[in-house]
Structure 1
């Protein structure tokens, strides 16, 4: 995974707190070293129970967590965290294990990096997720479409006055589609626009859309807002 830390600027996100949850001491220390070199404050935990205990003491700005942990696995930790909040989560998953990736996304992870991985890539992925979730850029004006009200700076989307409980990636995907109603996007286009990936597993989009529909649609099995365009991808349709 590399011979030494690479100083990757955190792009205005220095001093954000990252919790690294990994039972392999070598991997955990390498990840922590690279994140520290990039200017982040790093806390560490060796298993899922220790991670949950750490969250009760101090909530981080982002969590990097192994999918396979002793005692309680990363997917279950994701589910428990999602019951309490929307802190961004990046899972470290086994290379080639589609079940690990999809299971983690369905549990509420925002992103994943496959093992073996480049520590530099992981730091860049952490920075990318934080940039989207913390809204460090110039604030955008509130936006309304049909029953939905988007507050970009607060990262809140309301439906008929009630806030939706969305993870970081669910918010990114829904807000992007709200800004482009009635336009059909391929999964490749959404992966690039929302995740910032030019190459990646398209099931990431599929799973995130499934989770989003469960929170937006009256009947997720017959979506009327987040529609499937067969042979193309997805389209947002809202009656104004």
Structure 2
């Protein structure tokens, strides 16, 4: 892993910082700590980070509000943490722009594994970028850029991956379980509403930008990407 990777950890529990940082250091990465939402937003304005680990329940500004503020100006990968296991917390986190979600108690090793996987997916562009094209939509799979009519549409890394998988399988109905498995790479314990939330965000950002394609819901099954509809 790149020695210059720095992760911003925002949590009011010092034990969370210590445990995650120990595993990050073992992988050659660094971390910076913020203990409330206001401090996290200040640090993000002042410095560059490669990823944010963000707790939902914090003093002052909640993590959900911090996430909303980040998404106004940045597509930095965000992993949200919560001491609650309710499905709605996960849905809200994804709805406002988080890329991944973990409930406490969690293994710091798992957090770092997910950090590494996410960072691999947002590496800088290579000289021979791999593109997907569908109508006036193009996706740079190396640079994680999406263009509609040559205008860039800002998507989070996870949104790009979901859209790319649908485009690769254009015209085919993809069920939610397959999307969870192929895009996230691990089992979300049947939480298929995670997919619905991501699709909703993609439609809001991309599908409405062009009448040349659509992401169609197939009741009781999943979604289909179609061009020229």
TM-score by length of 2: 0.92
Matched, 1:197 2:191: no
2:138/2:147 contact within 8 Å kept: yes
Q: CA deviation at 1:15?
A: 3.0
**In structure 2, what is the equivalent of residue 3 of structure 1?**
none
The answer as to 2:166 corresponding to 1:177 is yes
- 1:157 is paired with a residue whose SS is strand
What SS does structure 1 have at the residue aligned with 2:170? coil
Residue in 1 aligned with 2:131? Answer: 142
- CA change 1:234–1:118 in 2 (3 A) is same
Is it true that 1:61 corresponds to 2:50 in the alignment? yes
Matches within 5 A, 1:35-54: 35-54=24-43
> The residue matched to 2:227 in structure 1 has which SS?
coil
Q: What are structure 2's unaligned runs of at least 5 residues?
A: none
Aligned-pair CA distance for 1:136 = 8.1
Query: 1:212 pairs with 198, 202, 205, which one?
Result: 202
1:140 to partner: Cα distance: 4.2
Partner of 2:73: 84
**1:118, 1:48 → 2: CA distance?**
23
Q: Once superposed, what is the RMSD of the aligned Cα atoms?
A: 2.2
Q: Distance in 2 between matches of 1:226 and 1:135?
A: 28
SS at match of 1:108: coil
Contact 1:148-1:160 at 8 Å conserved across structures: yes
The correspondence for 2:148, drawn from 153, 159, 167, is: 159
Q: In the alignment, is residue 73 of structure 1 matched against residue 43 of structure 2?
A: no
Q: Shift of residue 135 of structure 1?
A: 5.8
Residues 168-206 of structure 1: CA distance to partner in whole angstroms, max 9, x if unpaired? 111111112112201111111001111111344222211
Tell me the residue number matched to 1:15.
4
2:131/2:138 contact within 8 Å kept: yes
- Stretches of 4+ moved more than 4 A in 1? 135-140
CA displacement at 1:55 relative to structure 2: 0.6
Runs (5+) with no aligned partner, structure 1: 1-11
Q: Alpha-carbon deviation of 1:122?
A: 0.9
CA distance, structure 1, for counterparts of residue 143 and residue 152 of structure 2:
11
| Segment of structure 1 superposing worse, 17-26 or 137-146 | 137-146
What is the DSSP-based 3-state SS (H/G/I as helix, E as strand, rest coil) of the residue aligned with 1:226?
strand
TM-score of the aligned structures, taking structure 1 as reference length: 0.88
Per-residue Cα deviation, 1:92-125 (whole angstroms, up to 9, x for no partner): 1224222221111111100011111011111111
Structure 1: distance between partners of 2:33 and 2:162: 30
- Count matched residues: 227
Provide the residue aligned with 2:215 in structure 1: 226
